[in-house]
Amino acid sequence: MATFEVFGRRKWDAPMEHVGILHAPDAEAALVLARETHFRHDEGVEYAVCPSEHFHTQDPTLLERQVDISYRLQSGYSGFRDKREAARQAADARGRSDLRERPVPRRHGGEV
Amino acid sequence: MADLALPDLSTPRSQVLLAIADDALISGHRASHWTGVAPSLEEDLAFSTIAQAGINHADLWYQLVLDGTVDDVSAGVDALGLGREPEAYRHAIVCERPPRDFAYTLARHWVLDRFEAIRLASLAASTDPEVAALSVKLLHEHRYHLEHAQLWFDRLVRGGDEAADRLRDGFTQVLPEALGLFEPVEDEDQAVADGLLPVGHARLRERWLESAAPLLEQAGLADLVPAVDAAVPDEAAFGRRGCHTDDFVVDVWPEMTRLYREHPGARW
Amino acid sequence: MSATSTSDPVREEEFLAALDAGHRVEPFEWMPDTYRTLNIKFIEMHANSEIMGALPEREWIARAPTLKRKRSLAAKVQDEVGHAHLIYRVAESLGRPRRAMYEDLIAGTGRFHNVFHYPTYTWGDVACIGFLVDGAAIVTQRALLDTSYAPYARVMKRVVAEESLHYRHGEDIMLALAAGTDEQFEMLQEAVNRWWEPIMHFFGTAVPAEEDPMIRWGVKGRSNEASRQEWLNTYVPKMWDMGIDTPDPKLAYDPDTGWWDYTEPDWDRLAQIVKGEPTEATASRLYWRQLLHRHHAWVHDIVLGPEPATAA
């Protein structure tokens, strides 16, 4: 008997998530048994199993952060209203304000 | 940056902090070489983080050098990081060496990060509370660097004759030059007496040797362990006093600082 | 691994009908050879482009004008490599090993997008790549959220989420130059002039959706022209707003049709860029990678494990 880790996908576009374990003699049996062990309430659209002995867990403290890494995140960028205004004023000073008068789509500059 | 009044960089405090910051910046700059060209995509991502950490940590140390003397902290940081003449940089020469091959890069990574962890651990007891606090923070982040360095150290040692030979070549180049890390900055005695730098660089060398030697010996590299009293080779000496090789003066420094220097006072 | 596919016109028709009905294909399902081949071609080119796109920007990590830009550019390029890592995996799930794709790319036989064949000259190029070229990639990648191959769509969700950070990163650099000194402004305007045609090329010719095999087989969900128009909608007003002119005198938005008119780019030049002799920039980037790759043959088995990765 061995322990298997069970992973399932809730929706076709969702990532595989860990949903639990089960005991089974081998992977083939684990695949059959996982259905009613973990997905009997329609919890997913796809699942997979992996022997627990091949499932390695990292010490979670390795992910703890003490140094600010917001430069890697969207939150690290701000103040765009002011920055755009500064660029407009610079454009005016360079005599380039006429570019702003050209027709553009009504809802332009769609943010990503 | 004429209008930017930087603090006195000749004080023992400034010199100590610049040594730490410059080590981080220049080794981070060199680590960024592997971005997009590392031997695997996974390693590419790992080395980029190591490069970013170097740049980021340098920024944080430069902020302590500024010590609140300038209003525009970012401009002050850049004046320190990118605005000094080559002879004003205080990093050890081993940091400025090109990445050479991946084995050399890994050997240097292993040496530098073990050294940095030991220096940070001692700085955690600094009498300067900001220095102590930052050291504790960065020490935490260094754990990943140490684990990453040890990971490849172990695998290259066991990775067959060619890998082991190349790692040996890497250490043969890096270990003698690494002794330059332990040279004192100007007036370091004063910084030690003040408790800013609780353990001087010379004593850090003993600690580093104690921690590194057994691992090198187990890896069959005992013959490369520097003697307790080995001198720093001439070509890697006095980085902490601003002597640098062409690897910095001709290679790193002009490329790293040109854009900044060409547009004085510009904002980017 | 995937089921063996054979040429079977009836099954193929059923497969296409299922795609039309919105079916998402998983790696373990039967799929026609054409579907597999087209997806590998498209996805491999996408992943290659992430890598080759990292190289021009990477050159500027060493030269960035501030420490903040240095680290955020490093982080941004790192993300591009991370995207390559994710996207190569999708092609692997269709049976093409990552090592093979990687080695083909280095050998110069792998294809990648036109915009990554060009040299960079100034920090203005970094702004243009970060905002306008990346913006073009964002537009086309968002259209891939609906792609029919499920692993690709899942990966694109993650990639698109990270791209919104890159959009900010690019806009921030662009605005700083636009609001900067005259020299900085010129640096930006010149770079926009340089990048204009490559970006127009990037979206491809205005081939009608019904004639595009990538659309018929559910790889792409949107026509080249629709993507180009969306990019123009978003990025041209942004540039004009910051005083940056666009180099095409014919470029104009028609409020009545809701459509942009523009000068047709030189398509022969595009063909030359992507199919002809490598540009000098590409040749030197690839030469250098070949050199590093050869020099590190000894470490490949150590960092990747001895067996070529296989799809699961």
CA C132 to chain A, closest CA, distance in angstroms equals 12
Torsion of CA B4, B5, B9, B14, to 10 degrees: -90
Question: C298 and chain B: CB distance < 8 Å anywhere?
Answer: yes
Amino acid at residue number B138: L
Contact B236, B179 (CB under 8 A): yes
C-alpha distances out from residue C247 to B228, C236, C255, Å: 66, 11, 21
Q: Is C290 helix (H, G, I), strand (E, B) or coil?
A: helix
- Searching chain B, which residue's CA lies closest to the CA of residue C183? B263
- Beta-bridge partner residues of A13: none
DSSP A24: E
Give the total residue count for chain A: 112
Nearest CA to CA, how far is B233 from chain C (Å)?
28
In this structure, what token pair is assigned to residue C122?
A: 């100034």
> How far does B60 lie from chain A, in Å, by closest CA?
10
What contacts B267, CB < 8 A, 6 or more positions away? C176, C179, C180
pLDDT band at B60; cut points 50, 70, 90 = very high
Which residues have C-beta within 8 Å of that of residue C254, sequence separation ≥ 6?
A103, C260, C261
How far apart CA B93 and CA B90 sit, in angstroms, is 9
Say yes or no: ipTM exceeds 0.95: yes
Nearest-CB residue to C237 (from A14, A87, A108): A108
Q: How many CB pairs under 8 A join A and C?
A: 111
Write down the pLDDT at residue C310: 53
Tell the CATH superfamily of the A2-55 domain: Phenylacetic acid degradation B (3.10.20.520)
Mean pLDDT, range B179-195, rounded to an integer: 97
HEC secondary structure over C115-147: HHHCCCCCHHHHHHHHHHHHHHHHHHHHHHHHC
How far apart are alpha carbons C253 and C232 in whole angstroms?
A: 9
Helices (H), B68-160: 73-81, 93-96, 102-123, 129-157
Rounded percentage of chain B residues whose pLDDT exceeds 70: 99
Query: Is B176:B109 a contact under the CB 8 Å cutoff?
Result: no
Task: Provide the residue ranges of all domains of chain A, joining segments of one domain with +.
Answer: 2-55, 63-97
pLDDT at A112: 45
Is the Cβ–Cβ distance between B253 and B261 less than 8 Å? no
What is the rounded distance in angstroms from the CA atom of residue B83 to the CA atom of residue C100?
45
C174 touches chain B (CB under 8 A): no
* Cα gap C204→C201, rounded to integer Å: 5
* Paired strand residues for A24: A2
Interchain CB distance below 8 Å, A87 and C242: yes
Between B9-13, B33-37, B76-80, C301-305, the lowest mean confidence (pLDDT) is in C301-305
Q: Is the pLDDT of residue B28 over 90?
A: yes
Length of chain B: 268
Report CB contact under 8 Å: C180, A90.
Answer: yes
Question: Does residue B1 surpass a pLDDT of 50?
Answer: no
**C284 close to C106: Cβ distance less than 8 angstroms:** no
Asked if the C-beta of B141 comes within 8 angstroms of chain A's C-beta atoms, the answer is: yes
**Residue B143: which of B53, B18, B44 has the closest Cα?**
B53
Euclidean distance between CA atoms C312 and C310, whole angstroms = 6
Quote the pLDDT of residue C6: 60
Q: How confident is the model at residue C305 (pLDDT cuts 50, 70, 90)?
A: confident
**Cα of A31 vs its chain's centroid, Å:** 27
What is the CB-side half-sphere exposure of residue B100 using CA atoms within 13 A? Answer: 19
| Residues C66-119: tens digit of each pLDDT | 999 999 999 999 999 999 999 999 999 999 999 999 999 999 999 999 999 999
Under an 8 A CB cutoff, do B59 and C61 touch?
A: no
Contact C207, C224 (CB under 8 A): yes
Average pLDDT of the residues in B101-128: 97
pLDDT in tens, B205-239: 999 999 999 999 999 999 999 998 999 999 999 99
Scanning B25-44 for CB atoms below 8 A from C yields 25, 29, 32-33, 35-37, 39-44
Q: Where are the domains of chain B?
A: 12-262
DSSP state for residue C25 in the 8-state scheme: B
Confidence band of B5 (pLDDT split at 50, 70, 90): confident
Report the distance separating Cα B122 and Cα B129, nearest Å: 13
Reduced to 3 states (helix: H, G, I; strand: E, B; else coil), residue C276 is coil
- pLDDT at residue C4, rounded to an integer: 55
Closest approach of A85 to chain B, Cα-based (Å): 16
Q: Is A17 helix (H, G, I), strand (E, B) or coil?
A: strand
Are the C-beta atoms of B187 and B15 separated by less than 8 Å?
A: yes
Residue with tokens 């509370």: B129
Domain positions in chain C are 9-304
B258: closest chain C residue by CA: C63
Hey, of A104, A106, A107, A111, which one would you mutate to test binding to chain C, going by the most C CBs within 10 A of its CB? Answer: A104
pLDDT value for B2: 47
pLDDT in the model for residue B192: 97
Question: Between the CA atoms of C133, C139, C141 and C142, what dihedral angle is there, to the nearest 10 degrees?
Answer: 150
Q: Say whether A84 and C185 touch across the interface (CB within 8 A).
A: no
How many whole angstroms separate alpha carbon C223 and alpha carbon B11? 64
pLDDT at residue C101, rounded to an integer: 95
Q: Could you report the per-residue pLDDT of C183-230, keeping only the tens digit for each?
A: 999 999 999 999 999 999 999 999 998 899 999 999 998 999 999 999
Q: Which chains touch A (3 or more CB pairs under 8 A)?
A: B, C
The mean pLDDT value of chain C amounts to: 93
Enter the tokens of residue C89.
């995996």
What does the alpha-carbon distance between residue B239 and residue B257 come to, in Å, rounded to a whole number?
19
Q: How confident is the model at residue B197 (pLDDT cuts 50, 70, 90)?
A: very high
CA torsion sign for C56, C58, C63, C64 is: positive
Secondary structure (DSSP) of C255-271: TTTTEEE-PPP-HHHHH
Nearest chain A CA: its distance from C275 CA (Å):
32
Q: How far is CA B148 from CA B153, B155, C68, in A?
A: 9, 11, 25
Q: What is the DSSP letter of B8?
A: -
Asked whether residue C248 carries a pLDDT value surpassing 60, the answer given is: yes
- C78 in contact with B at a CB cutoff of 8 Å? yes
Report the distance separating Cα B70 and Cα A12, nearest Å: 54
Q: CA B225, CA B210: separation in Å to the nearest integer?
A: 10
Question: Which residue of A97, A103, A108 is in closest CB contact with C233?
Answer: A108
- C71 to chain A, any CB pair closer than 8 A? The answer is yes
pLDDT in tens, chain A (112 residues): 799 999 999 999 999 999 999 999 999 999 999 999 999 999 999 999 999 999 999 999 999 999 999 999 988 999 999 999 999 999 999 999 999 999 999 865 444 4
What does the alpha-carbon distance between residue B96 and residue B88 come to, in Å, rounded to a whole number? 14
Instruction: Pick the residue from chain B with its C-alpha nearest to C86.
Output: B41
What are the angstrom distances between the C-alpha of B175 and each of A54, B34, B105, B180, B220? 38, 22, 12, 10, 15
Query: Could you give the percent of chain C with pLDDT greater than 90?
Result: 87
Strands (E), chain B: none
Q: Give the pLDDT score at C95.
A: 95
For B69-93, write each residue's pLDDT tens digit: 999 999 999 999 999 999 999 999 9
Residue B195 region by backbone torsions, left for phi larger than 0, else alpha for psi between -120 and 50, else beta: left
Cα-based distances in Å from B170 to B35, B153, C50, C113, C182: 20, 11, 31, 38, 47
Which other chains touch chain C, taking contact as 3+ CB pairs less than 8 Å apart? Answer: A, B
Q: Which of B119-128, B248-257, C157-166 has the lowest mean pLDDT?
A: C157-166
- A63 to chain C, minimum CA–CA distance in Å? 17
Check residue B75 and give its pLDDT: 96
**pLDDT tens digit sequence for B138-150:** 999 999 999 999 9
The CATH superfamily assigned to B12-262 is Ferritin, core subunit, four-helix bundle (1.20.1260.10)
**Angle of the C134-143 helix axis to the C224-241 helix axis, nearest 10:** 140
- How far apart CA C60 and CA C137 sit, in angstroms, is 20
Nearest to A99 among C171, C243, C253 (CB): C243
Q: Tally C-beta pairs within 8 A across B and C.
A: 129
Nearest CA in chain B to C53: B36
Overall fold of domain C9-304: Ferritin (1.20.1260)
Q: Report pLDDT for C7.
A: 73
C223 and C208 in contact (C-beta within 8 Å)?
yes
Instruction: Among B59, B64, B137, B139, pick the best mutation site for testing chain A contact (most A Cβ within 10 A).
Output: B137
